[in-house]
C-alpha cells in the first residue's frame, strides 16, 4: 500500500553531498525528529545506502533520487523499480533539474511507480511547467526555480502561491512542495505559509556550519507552521 503523506512534510535531500556513514548520521537525526514531532520526513540517498536506511530508519520515508520505467529483464545499468521497492524505498524523485526526463519518460515512470505504490515527487520550474506536469497527477510536485537551486535565496511569495494554485487547479490531490534556497527555519515557515504542503533542503543543510542544528531548526519551524496553518 502506498504511503499516505501527511501535510506539512519535509524532504531532506543530501543529493551526492553525503553518502555512507555521514549520510547515515544525518538520517539518524532526522529519524529522531520524525518521532519527536510526529511529522513525515522524506529522506533521499544514494542507491547503495537506501536499503540500510529503510531498515534502520522506520519513521522516515526513504526516497530514491531517481527511478526508471523499465521492467525486469534487459536493462543493464538502469534503475529497476522492483529493486527499489524490495529495498524498502517508498518514494522517488523524478525530473530534478540535475536529472531531467523527457515527457515520455516521465509519463511512463510515474505510471510504473503507481503500479508499485511508490510515491512520485516530481520537479517543475515555473508556473507553466508546474501546470503541465500536474496533468500527470504525481503525488507531490516540487516547485522550484532552477535559477535559485543552491543559491540560498528562496522564491518570493508570489511565485510560491502561483505555483501552488497552478498545480491544485489541474490535480487537486497532488501535494505541493516549495523548495530551492531553503536554508533556515524562517524559510521553512514561509514556504508553508504560502499554502504549500511541504518544503525541504539540500545545500542549506549539508553545507551549513552545523547541519544537525540547521535541520533541527527547520523541523521545529515546520512544527510551528503545522500548528499555525494546519490545526
Span 96-123, mean pLDDT? 95
Q: Which of 31, 32, 78, 96 is an active site residue?
A: 96
Banded model confidence at residue 155, pLDDT cuts 50, 70, 90? confident
Span 142-164, mean pLDDT? 80
Q: Structural domains in the chain?
A: 9-229 (3.20.20.70)
Is 4 annotated as catalytic? no
Q: How many residues does the chain have?
A: 231
Query: Would the CA dihedral through 103, 65, 175, 85 be positive or negative?
Result: positive
Is 144 annotated as catalytic? yes
* pLDDT, mean over the chain: 94
Give the global pTM: 0.95
* Per-residue pLDDT at 178: 94
- C-alpha cell, 107: 509519463
- Of 1-5, 36-40, 151-155, the one with minimum mean pLDDT is 151-155
* Per-residue pLDDT at 230: 87
- C-alpha cell, 58: 522506520
Q: Which of 144, 165, 186, 212 is an active site residue?
A: 144
Look-up: residue for cell 506539512?
A: 8
Amino acid at each position: 500500500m502506498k504511503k499516505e503523506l501527511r501535510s506539512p512534510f519535509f524532504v531532506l535531500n543530501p543529493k551526492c553531498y553525503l553518502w555512507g556513514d555521514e549520510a547515515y548520521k544525518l538520517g539518524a537525526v532526522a529519524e529522531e525528529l520524525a518521532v519527536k514531532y510526529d511529522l513525515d520526513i522524506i529522506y533521499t540517498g544514494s542507491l547503495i545506502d537506501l536499503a540500510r536506511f529503510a531498515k534502520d530508519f522506520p519513521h522516515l520515508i526513504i526516497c530514491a533520487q531517481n527511478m526508471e520505467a523499465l521492467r525486469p529483464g534487459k536493462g543493464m545499468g538502469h534503475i529497476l523499480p522492483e529493486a527499489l521497492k524490495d529495498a524498502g524505498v517508498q518514494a522517488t524523485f523524478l525530473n530534478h533539474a540535475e536529472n531531467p526526463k523527457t515527457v515520455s519518460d516521465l509519463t511512463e515512470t510515474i505510471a510504473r511507480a503507481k503500479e508499485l505504490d511508490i510515491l512520485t515527487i516530481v520537479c517543475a520550474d515555473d508556473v507553466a511547467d508546474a501546470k503541465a506536469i500536474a496533468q500527470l497527477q504525481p503525488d507531490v510536485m516540487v516547485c522550484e526555480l532552477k535559477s535559485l537551486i543552491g543559491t540560498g535565496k528562496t522564491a518570493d511569495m508570489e511565485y510560491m502561491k502561483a505555483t501552488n494554485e497552478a498545480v491544485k487547479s489541474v490535480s487537486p490531490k497532488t501535494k505541493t512542495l516549495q523548495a530551492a534556497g531553503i536554508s533556515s527555519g524562517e524559510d521553512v515557515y514561509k514556504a508553508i505559509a504560502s499554502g504549500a504542503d511541504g518544503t525541504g533542503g539540500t545545500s542549506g543543510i549539508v553545507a551549513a556550519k552545523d547541519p544537525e542544528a540547521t535541520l533541527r531548526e527547520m523541523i521545529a519551524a515546520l512544527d510551528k507552521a503545522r500548528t499555525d496553518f494546519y490545526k
